[in-house]
Amino acid sequence: MTTSSGLDREVETRLAEHRIRYTSGRQILVRALAGAEGPLSAAELHDEVSGALPLSSIYRSLAVLEEAGVLAPHHGTKGLTRYELAEWLKGHHHHLVCIDCGAVEDVTVNDHHENQVDRVVNEISSKAAFTAFNHALEIEGRCARCA
Amino acid sequence: MTTSSGLDREVETRLAEHRIRYTSGRQILVRALAGAEGPLSAAELHDEVSGALPLSSIYRSLAVLEEAGVLAPHHGTKGLTRYELAEWLKGHHHHLVCIDCGAVEDVTVNDHHENQVDRVVNEISSKAAFTAFNHALEIEGRCARCA
DNA sequence: TTTCCAGCAAGAACGATTCTCATTATATAC
DNA sequence: GTATATAATGAGAATCGTTCTTGCTGGAAA
């Protein structure tokens, strides 16, 4: 099983550390997520790959990839869990969540603003005796398509 | 049906504008949420009120109160939706989400930092042609209890 | 090649949420 | 104050996303 892209290579290495195989089904999911604008749910991935993988396999693979730190979950409306590539693969970003269609779009901000956000996160965490691992600004509103 | 607290009065007024009654069951839920440290799920509220309201009624009332803008939903781990009083009732705040126990704690920051966050939100939204209605900094990590 | 085990597919099971429907309570008209 | 219309309730069935179970498959290593 040859790896084609740099992404595949990075994921394969990570999975190898966890003694997990980077099978074709898992590659399909990772590539689908790499080409997405934002997090996707199991059902959305099922559509995206045109049923090439059964839903039950998608759920299992998503759980495996999350466990290995390749994917990060995002819990959205209607009990839907969407997944996206973890930040070490796709970079730190925030979320625009549409209250109409539920779609989530990834956005990044410049370093200056990101540093400000970091400071706020640190202040909050230290005050609350909370050990912060990650953070995201979740901005709720209406996307351009639903406006 | 006399209102006891200022909160009850505010909620009652809001519901009246929507031609919705502030029944005793709804009062029980609003008061339970007013006394909570963070958002609660339907099941947690069911426990909180010791089964005084059936689950089906709790779900229906939560939906009604959300529709009227009295409650705001928060989607957490394991497909659980937790509710809290809307920001016009409890003030703007952010969330500390424990990756172990799943609990959500509300936190506020001082105006200086809040303004910085606002600026970042505005920058992101305008760049993405997104109409922002609300935002929250979701900080993931381990709470003091699970540390 | 044979053995072994991670991964797979299909469907059952599960749990949170929503829906249905008959009953009860509340407001408004008379 | 009673009648009538409308809103809300409670109990349980139904739904839907997700997870689990079971038996099978296919690739890695000896």
Could you tell me if B25 and B76 lie in one domain?
Answer: yes
Could you tell me if A69 and A28 lie in one domain?
Answer: yes
Nearest residue to A136 (alpha-carbon basis) of A78, A76, A79: A76
Q: What is the pLDDT of residues B94-139, one digit of tens each?
A: 999 988 877 889 999 989 999 999 999 999 999 999 999 999 999 9
Could you tell me if A4 and A31 lie in one domain?
Answer: yes
Give me the pLDDT at residue B4, please: 63
Q: Does the structure show a pLDDT above 70 at B1?
A: no
Could you tell me if B20 and B77 lie in one domain?
Answer: yes
Number of structural domains (chain B) is 2
- CB neighbour class for A118 (10 Å; exposed up to 12, middle 13-18, buried from 19): middle
Last residue of a domain, one of B90, B105, B130: B90
For residue B35, the distance in angstroms to the closest alpha carbon of chain A comes to 19
Q: What is the pLDDT of residues A87-113, one digit of tens each?
A: 999 999 999 998 877 788 999 998 999
Last residue of a domain, one of B69, B90, B111: B90
Q: What is the pLDDT of residues A51-88, one digit of tens each?
A: 889 999 999 999 999 999 999 999 988 889 999 999 99
Q: How many CB pairs under 8 A join A and B?
A: 134
Domain that holds residue A126: 92-147
Could you tell me if A98 and A125 lie in one domain?
Answer: yes
CATH number at residue A124: 3.30.1490.190
Last residue of a domain, one of A65, A87, A109: A87
Could you tell me if A68 and A103 lie in one domain?
Answer: no
Could you tell me if A9 and A62 lie in one domain?
Answer: yes
Contact at CB, B135 and A135, closer than 8 angstroms: no
> Considering only residues 88 to 147 of chain A, which have any Cβ-Cβ distance to chain B shorter than 8 Å?
94, 96, 99, 105, 107, 109, 113, 116-117, 119-121, 123-125, 127-144, 147
In whole angstroms, give the CA distance from residue B10 to residue B6: 6
Could you tell me if A13 and A55 lie in one domain?
Answer: yes
Could you tell me if B112 and B48 lie in one domain?
Answer: no
Could you tell me if A10 and A55 lie in one domain?
Answer: yes
CATH number at residue B41: 1.10.10.10
What residues form DSSP beta bridges with A139?
A96, B135
Could you tell me if A45 and A99 lie in one domain?
Answer: no
